[in-house]
Amino acid sequence: MKPFHLQIVTPEGLLFDGDAESLLVRTGEGDVEIMRGHTDLFASVGVGRARILADGNSRTASCSGGFLSVKGGEVKLCAVTFEFADTIDIGRAKAAMERAERAITAAKDDRSERIAKAKLARALTRISVYEKR
């Protein structure tokens, strides 16, 4: 498989800048796999598992929020969070899950409940990615 140039950026900085054979990421429309020659695309990124295939090696990550741009063979993923499985602190992820579950139970309005459910989704994704690494 021929590679394409991929950049992954978060508020913490540049996480990946190199050639990749594929990128699988969850968008607002569902999971999308990007490979060389993919049509131009601009999409929102949701909470979910992401996978990068580079140099024949597959790396899985937890991704939450942001946008994906594919233009002229260049692929850029700007994510709110992007954590490779081997960098996830499972203790923190489980603690975040427990806090989110308590916040859902204690929510006094729809907004608080939606925020807590979003936090729970992020925590569960991180835990799932860590456990399936």
In terms of domains, do 123 and 75 share one? no
∠ at Cα 113 (112, 114), nearest 5°?
A: 95
In terms of domains, do 99 and 61 share one? no
Percent of residues, the chain, with pLDDT higher than 70? 100
pLDDT of residue 49: 96
Residue ranges of alpha helices (H) inside 43-109 are 90-106
Tell me how far apart the alpha carbons of residues 55 and 104 are, in angstroms, rounded to a whole number: 42
* Residue 90 tokens, joined: 């499972």
In terms of domains, do 13 and 77 share one? yes
pLDDT band for 15, please (50, 70, 90 cuts). very high
**How many residues are recorded in the chain?**
133
Tell me how far apart the alpha carbons of residues 126 and 11 are, in angstroms, rounded to a whole number: 18
CATH of residue 93: 1.20.5
- 58 contacts: CB under 8 Å, gap ≥ 6: 51, 52
Left, alpha or beta for 80 (phi > 0: left; psi -120 to 50: alpha)?
alpha
pLDDT of residue 73: 87
pLDDT tens, position by position, 70-119: 999 899 999 999 999 999 999 999 999 999 999 999 999 999 999 999 99
* Position 31 pLDDT exceeds 90: yes
In terms of domains, do 37 and 67 share one? yes
pTM of the model: 0.88
Tell me how far apart the alpha carbons of residues 89 and 16 are, in angstroms, rounded to a whole number: 20
In terms of domains, do 68 and 94 share one? no
